[in-house]
Amino acid sequence: MRYASSNVLQVYLAGPITGFENSWREEYQSELRYKYGIVAVLPQAQERYEEELGIIDAAPVLTQRDKWMCTKSDVVLANFMGSVKASIGTCIEIGWANMAGVPIIAVIPEGNVHSHAMIKSLSTFTVKDLQQATSILIGLQGWV
């Protein structure tokens, strides 16, 4: 286990942010926590971070924060459901996680723009929906 201080599985919820409906993260975070005892950490939207902290250019801070969270979490879940254009940030996060030896669950529905050989090769698991991803997380939780 990398980040969590107890035997609680921590999962980083990667996926497109810009121009994308992000409510799935909050809903999924609650489901994981209250149904399965899994802690989910979320990336921050640049605009929100700049507004809250008054930082003019939050991108360098967010990049380092997300890199740290990706590489210190027990698992990275990259949810590409609903994305219609490539998410460069999420692809980079998959690279960071892979280099750090963090297991990656990629949620890539049929015909999705992220259905690419490199994304699939770097991912430990490739599934079609969050229900399948949740089953894997529950299985992995037994290993922490």
Which domains are present in the chain? 10-141 (3.40.50.450)
- Render the burial of 75-112: b for 16+ CB within 10 Å, e for the rest: bbbbbbbebeeebebbbebbebbbeeebbbbbbbeeeb
pLDDT over threshold 70, residue 16: yes
pLDDT by residue (tens digit) across 103-142? 999 999 888 878 899 999 999 999 999 999 999 999 998 7
Dist. CA 123–CA 144, nearest whole Å: 20
Q: How far apart are the first and last CA of the chain?
A: 6
Distances (CA, A) of 61 to 74, 91, 101, 142: 22, 18, 23, 33
Question: Which has the minimum average pLDDT: 39-43, 72-76, 100-104?
Answer: 39-43
Alpha-carbon dihedral angle through residues 47, 52, 55, 57, given to the nearest 10 degrees: -10
Dist. CA 133–CA 111, nearest whole Å: 18
On whether the CB atoms of residues 42 and 30 are closer than 8 A, the answer is no
In the numeric block, which tokens belong to residue 134? 């949740």
Strand pairing report for 125-127 and 10-14:
unpaired
Residue with the bigger pLDDT between 55 and 109: it is: 109
Question: H/E element holding 69?
Answer: helix 59-72
On whether the CB atoms of residues 103 and 29 are closer than 8 A, the answer is no
